[in-house]
A and B are shown apart, each in its own frame.
Chain A
């Protein structure tokens, strides 16, 4: 199914939702639950009850605001805008600053694990497949400011273009590109031990 058709299908579902159709709402949730939950989890630092609660709130907001949706914008852009609003508010109210430290809480196992261990005797490629590096990347991403973290996620995981990302963040396309550039530079610094400077 093409992207346009996907968007048209979403648009039709939202129209039905605006008329109070619960079955359409259930279908929309099933279609986008991984996208929303994954984005929320990436933004707040891991999966868990908070991520589930926020993801549910996002869908409830979609239900309530369905009548205001205008099909000029892509549905996923609107969905991500709602996601951004709730997630940023959550981060502000909880004062949740995911500071860069030498430990990272593994959200799946709730184990605190040491990262940044010496990598001597192994190649970075071996590291790449390892949990240690995954934790290092998680930690590096968690240390980014929320707007940079969201830009990276939307670009790399959701594969959105910068025009759409700009709409989600309420900034220009150029502004979104600039945020991406800064995020990339920050990540390179944070993950510098896994890279060498280009000659």
Chain B
């Protein structure tokens, strides 16, 4: 006796469906939920940096600090050489006056 091919309909059909159903579907191993939860916590920990803050917040804050520092450095008023030497000369003049007043 042999089976006849079924026509199937929407699914595999009764006979092919019965064959398919005869193969047991594996079930999750013991402790699957506990192991998954432990892994989930590990991954959450890994994605956190210092002070329990998410790593992306720390990286963003670091990048923002660097950007602000660079902008401030760039916007410093530039001093021309002549201005610098004039300021130094004035200091020397002041020094002479101070010495004279001090009777040196």
Contacts and interface: CB of A to CB of B under 8 A. Distances in A.
B82 interface: no
B25 A41 contact: yes
Interface string B64-102: 000000000000000000000000000000000000000
Contact of B26 (A26, A37, A59, A141): A37
16 contacts: A29-B32, A33-B32, A34-B25, A36-B28, A38-B26, A42-B26, A47-B26, A56-B36, A124-B3, A128-B18, A137-B20, A137-B23, A187-B16, A191-B16, A191-B19, A196-B4
A49 to B, nearest CB: 10
A123 B43 contact: no
Nearest to B8: A184
Interface string A163-199: 0000000000000010011011001100100111111
B47 to A, nearest CB: 9
Interface in B20-56: 20-29, 32-33, 35-37, 39-41, 43
B37 A25 contact: yes
B12 interface: yes
A187 B12 contact: yes
A134 B25 CA distance: 11
Interface size class of B (residues with CB under 8 A): 35 or more
A156 interface: yes
Contacts of B17: 156
Contacts of A63: 40
Interface string A4-28: 0000000000000000001001100
Given A37-B27, A137-B23, A184-B12, A194 B2 contact: yes
A188 B5 contact: yes
Contact of A33 (B3, B12, B21, B28): B28
A137 B35 CA distance: 32
Given A60-B43, A141-B20, A187-B20, 13 more contacts: A22-B41, A25-B37, A29-B33, A30-B33, A33-B33, A38-B28, A56-B36, A128-B19, A128-B22, A129-B22, A138-B23, A152-B12, A156-B17
B44 to A, nearest CB: 9
B3 A196 contact: yes
Q: Which of B28, B29, B37 has the most CB of A within 10 A?
A: B28
Nearest to A22: B37
A155 interface: yes
B25 A59 contact: no
